[in-house]
Chains A and B, each alone.
Chain A
Amino acid sequence: MNEQKKLQRMIQTYSFVIYETALYLDTHPNCRAALDYYARYNAKLSEAVEKYESRFGPMTIFSGKNCEEWRWVKEPWPWEYNA
């Protein structure tokens, strides 16, 4: 697995942990342990996303940097077999 794939997988994993914890918090909004868990993984996700975007282009339309070309339409889309 190359560096881009590894980072992608890491972002998918952390995002899943956060989403799952968020759904739990929706029905347990005062659970201290879940709130801490959420915060811990959110920090890990931010770090991974920052690392990914600095090298492989924006994950969302809001996270592009001012650069020579519009990378958003140059990279493979997630549904492509070779993405």
Chain B
Amino acid sequence: MWIYERKLQFPVKIKNPNPRYAKIIVSQLGGPDGELGASTRYLNQRYSMPYRDVAGILTDVGTEELAHVEMIGTILHQLTRNMCVEDVSRAGLDAYFVDHTAGVFPQSAGGVPFDAKYVGVKGDVIADLNEDLAAEQKARVTYDNLLRMIDDHDVCEPLRFLRARELVHYQRFGETKPSGGNAKNNLYSVIPRIL
């Protein structure tokens, strides 16, 4: 089970609301490479993972991704606080506002609602772990793109933290070599047999 801890993994305190930034950052909540897809992907891949140590890293990274879902939600909430209708229109947030007001809804920057197709679960060790390595890099690129477009220290600091976490998770997934890490057990050097 999970227990809620009354704290963010990294502080978020955004002085200046800016719905324009919220409009693009929302992709890291409910977009194709967002945190919601990440946590759901890892936590669902665990069940068919035959190696206990790899199931462990999936559990722990998947759990950390839930904390990232909360950080992105917090960023979106603080960026859209105290908006008047003019702020909404000026930021081009009209379409979102009509359906969700200032609620935090998982969708991509392009307005596509979160879709379970972002949750890659193949039930195969090699396929799933390679999915995860790619997912971490895709999320990292999304943070790179956001950091290129955002010019506010209060927003960029937590985004930089989240970007760094993608690199660490990539590293840890890449280290998964059950049973001691000799060449025979290196997951990434296996040529799968057709059954």
A interface residues (Cβ-Cβ under 8 A, vs B): 8-9, 11-12, 15-16, 19-20, 22-24, 26-29, 58-62, 75, 77-79, 81
Chain B interface residue count, Cβ-Cβ cutoff 8 angstroms: 30
Contact B61–A23 (Cβ < 8 Å): yes
B56 neighbours in A (Cβ, 8 Å): 26
Contact A11–B7 (Cβ < 8 Å): yes
**A12, A23, A29, most chain B CB atoms within 10 A:** A23
- Measured CB to CB, the closest approach of chain B to A40, in angstroms, equals 19
**In the complex where A23-B172, A26-B57, A62-B3 touch, is A79 in contact with B74 (Cβ < 8 A)?**
yes
Q: A12-B10, A27-B57, A61-B3 are in contact. List 10 more A-B contacts (CB 8 A).
A: A12-B7, A12-B9, A15-B7, A19-B60, A27-B175, A60-B4, A60-B5, A60-B6, A61-B4, A62-B3
Q: Which residues 15-61 of B sit at the A interface, judged by CB distance below 8 A?
A: 53, 56-57, 60-61
Considering the complex, give the chain B residue whose CB is closest to the CB of A81.
B78
A29 neighbours in B (Cβ, 8 Å): 53
**In the complex where A60-B3, A79-B73, A81-B14 touch, is A26 in contact with B60 (Cβ < 8 A)?**
yes
Contact B8–A79 (Cβ < 8 Å): yes
The answer to the question of B138 belonging to the interface, with a C-beta cut-off of 8 Å to chain A, is: no
